[in-house]
Amino acid sequence: MNQTEPIPNSSEREAQALRDLENSWQTPRGMIGWLSCTTHQAIGMRYIVTAFIFLLAGGIEALLIRLQLALPNNTLLGPDRYNEIFTTHGTTMMFLFAVPMMEGMAVYLVPLMLGTRNVAFPRLNAFGYWIYLAGAIFLYWGVFTNTAPDAGWFSYPPLSGPAYSPGKRVDFWAQMITFTEVSAMCVASELIATIFKMRAPGMSLNRIPLYCWSMLVQSFMVIFAMPAVMIASSYLLSDRTVGTHFVNPAEGGDPLLYQHVFWLFGHPEVYIIFIPALGFVSSIVTANSRREIFGYPGMVLSIVATGFIAFGLWVHHMFATGLPQIGEAYFTAASMMIAVTSGVQIFCWIATLWTGRLRMTAALHFVFGFIAIFVLGGLTGVILASVSLDVQVHDTFFVVAHFHYVLIGGALFPLFGAFYHWFPKITGRLMNEAVGKLNFWILFIGFNLTFFPMHILGLKGMTRRIYTYGSEMGWELGNILATIGAFIIAAGGVVFLINIFLSRNRGEIAGDNPWDADSFEWAAASPPKSYNFEYLPVATSRYPLWVAASERTFVTGLRNDRREVLVTTLMDAEPHHRLVLPRSSLWPLLTALAVTIGFIGSVFNAWYITYGSILTGLAFVGWFWPRLPVETKP
């Protein structure tokens, strides 16, 4: 099968092939074309831009929180508004920013890194985006009509139950969960199928880029974790709307069960956000150390192990609920185990950096920031894993400090590094490196100034979610420092946005591979064509762009006049069959609308579950209805 033959040197045939590819992969122009788009680059960008807007919204909410807490006895927001704002902040950051952002980056990058032309299910991909957008608009519709949720981002009953939270606030929250989880499951399924079956020939399991490994593990975690939160939020919603008693203790239900089911999702959720960031770090470290990653098998095994262990930790969020001691001991041990897998990866990166020829790019600055902050957050994590210490600082600002260290340090810093690293691929222009490094230092200093004092505030007894405090508590210094820090972070965000907008139009032209990096996305044009690669690449090494140009291998024989990709075998990525992917379609949008009618309607009237299901069923029939001619010609 592996035969050497010259490429047809007729430039005319080459030009015709490119025209065919362009025609079959382009999205129709105009509004209808935009709405029916199914290419992964466009959908990925929509996720990234939308999620970024919600990062800004969540950031503004964070500033409001910090303004309220800046001074003792402050009355800027008042208790009710404060509840709404911290709930919306947490909800936005977890469900509307972090997960969709990571999914969007993967939708953009994974097909490029695997050397294929789209995700396995392009229409499902579009559907997932529309559902996410609908859920996000739904929540913010509530926020702007004085129906913002106010029971915390995990909405524990009985507080969030019908007796203590009348009105529709919590219903909006619970149904927004359903939207975003459906969206995440769509992306997870398509990424699993893509990574399993659409890798470049030769990209056997031991050659998959670490970023794709991390997205594979993350996708499996989404599949096993997201159903839990859908069940938890459905328990809550149906208790509130149709009078069930899932978590109602008066009729035999159990509010503690809600906590179990929620955290069975909630803890893996942290890793669902964090594991893709590990992938970013591996890519950035490899490219900027200009050497192979140290300990690839150990890295892969650590990511996979993290995926498993993450499901055995959830009870450490519930140590204060009075569970049996044997259970607490088990979950303490399991929680500490996660330090081992994280540690292995940190040491592998340090070894790679140590022995590499470093190029101190802005992206690498963010990686160093990540390592510093994440290790600190990890150390407080080990503290919180211990029952005796956890019970002391439970529900205090110590916990707030811890999870911002692991989430901002563990996910946001790598994400910003990833923006600097892949921006030239996405736009064709480099971001300004000097401004990037300034951006990093502002964020790094602002971050530590905001969140480090919170450790001390927590130890001094400042609890989470109080809207103000008296001046006799001795919490003034820490709070004012945190508020100043928060505005420094905001300034860092502004610098980033300025850098984006200036570089987008005036940045230096990047070329295909500005970092001389190793993986396939850098073999595509910057920005990538709608078909990614004229000839699909073959992976002859774990670092396919670092082999000699004369040894690079490509795939020929795919048809260019339709959206054809290559399906390979699961383990060894041997070519197996060709697959024709669907073209643009409006059905994903129409189906998403049908689902939205059902989801939103059912918050107000349970019968909308039936109406929505019927509409969705009809939309799916339209989606799958065979188009003429139906044959797949060879």
Partner 1 sequence: MITQNMINVEHLEPSDISSQSPLWWGQVCIVAIEATMFSILMAAYFYVRLSVDVWPPAGDQFPHTLLPSIALLPLILSAFGSYWASQAAKKNDRTGMLLGMGLNIILATVFFVMRIIEWHSLNFNWQTDAQGSYVWAFLGLHSFDYVADLAFTIVLFFIVLSGRYAEKQRLGVHVDSVVWYFIVAIWIPIYVVIYWGPQIVETQ
| Residues of span 574-633 touching partner 1 by CB under 8 A | 575-580, 613, 617, 620-621, 624-626, 628, 630-633
Q: CA 168, CA 161: separation in Å to the nearest integer?
A: 11
**Quick one: CA dihedral 524, 188, 592, 160, positive or negative?**
negative
Least separation in angstroms between residue 575's CB and partner 1 is 5
Span 209-238, contacts to partner 1 by CB under 8 A: 223-224, 226-228, 230-231, 238
Least separation in angstroms between residue 239's CB and partner 1 is 8
Q: Residue 535 CA to chain centroid, in angstroms?
A: 30
Q: CA 441, CA 447: separation in Å to the nearest integer?
A: 10
Using rule CB under 8 A, residue 145 touches partner 1? no
Tokens 């993290």 locate to: 306
Using rule CB under 8 A, residue 634 touches partner 1? yes
Tokens 């510093």 locate to: 372
Q: CA 560, CA 330: separation in Å to the nearest integer?
A: 56
CB-nearer residue toward partner 1: 227 or 298: 227
Question: Of 427, 553, 572, 611, which lies in the binding site for partner 1, with binding defined by CB under 8 A?
Answer: 553
Amino acid at 54: F
CB-nearer residue toward partner 1: 197 or 583: 197
> Binding pattern to partner 1, positions 456-485, x when CB under 8 A?
------------------------------
Question: What residue ranges in 128-197 does DSSP mark as E strands?
Answer: none
Least separation in angstroms between residue 546's CB and partner 1 is 16
Q: CA 135, CA 154: separation in Å to the nearest integer?
A: 17
Helix (H, G, I), strand (E, B) or coil at 426: helix
Using rule CB under 8 A, residue 343 touches partner 1? no
Using rule CB under 8 A, residue 313 touches partner 1? no
Using rule CB under 8 A, residue 12 touches partner 1? no
Question: Of 555, 586, 593, 597, which lies in the binding site for partner 1, with binding defined by CB under 8 A?
Answer: 555
Question: Of 323, 558, 593, 597, which lies in the binding site for partner 1, with binding defined by CB under 8 A?
Answer: 558
Using rule CB under 8 A, residue 541 touches partner 1? no
Question: Of 84, 269, 328, 564, which lies in the binding site for partner 1, with binding defined by CB under 8 A?
Answer: 564
CB-nearer residue toward partner 1: 268 or 485: 268
CB-nearer residue toward partner 1: 83 or 241: 241
CB-nearer residue toward partner 1: 459 or 579: 579
Question: Of 206, 321, 556, 605, which lies in the binding site for partner 1, with binding defined by CB under 8 A?
Answer: 556
CB-nearer residue toward partner 1: 487 or 620: 620
Enter the tokens of residue 580: 């024709």
Amino acid at 584: S
CB-nearer residue toward partner 1: 264 or 489: 264
Q: CA 424, CA 443: separation in Å to the nearest integer?
A: 22
Span 182-201, contacts to partner 1 by CB under 8 A: 185, 188-190, 192-194, 196-198, 201
CB-nearer residue toward partner 1: 26 or 613: 613
Q: Which contiguous run of DSSP H or E holds residue 194?
A: helix 169-197
Question: Of 55, 101, 113, 124, which lies in the binding site for partner 1, with binding defined by CB under 8 A?
Answer: 124
Long-range own/partner contacts, residues 337-341 (CB < 8 A, 24 or more apart): 337/309, 338/306, 338/309, 338/310, 338/313, 338/381, 339/378, 339/381, 339/382, 341/302, 341/303, 341/305, 341/306, 341/309
Using rule CB under 8 A, residue 546 touches partner 1? no
CB-nearer residue toward partner 1: 84 or 181: 181
Using rule CB under 8 A, residue 525 touches partner 1? no
For residue 634, give the DSSP letter. Answer: -
Helix (H, G, I), strand (E, B) or coil at 566: strand
Helix (H, G, I), strand (E, B) or coil at 298: helix
Stretch that binds partner 1, among 130-138, 358-366, 421-429, 548-556 (CB under 8 A): 548-556
Cα atoms in the Cβ-side hemisphere of radius 13 Å centred on 270: 26
Q: How many residues bind partner 1 (CB under 8 A)?
A: 78
Q: CA 560, CA 575: separation in Å to the nearest integer?
A: 18
CB-nearer residue toward partner 1: 291 or 562: 562
Q: Which contiguous run of DSSP H or E holds residue 494?
A: helix 476-506
CB-nearer residue toward partner 1: 468 or 569: 569
Span 96-115, contacts to partner 1 by CB under 8 A: none
Least separation in angstroms between residue 96's CB and partner 1 is 21
Least separation in angstroms between residue 220's CB and partner 1 is 8
Cis peptide before 629 (omega within 30 of 0): yes
Which residues touch 4 (CB under 8 Å, ≥6 apart)? none
Q: Measure the CA dihedral 170/176/181/184, to 10°.
A: -150
Asked if residue 456 lies in contact with residue 478, where contact means CB atoms within 8 angstroms, the answer is yes
Using rule CB under 8 A, residue 246 touches partner 1? yes
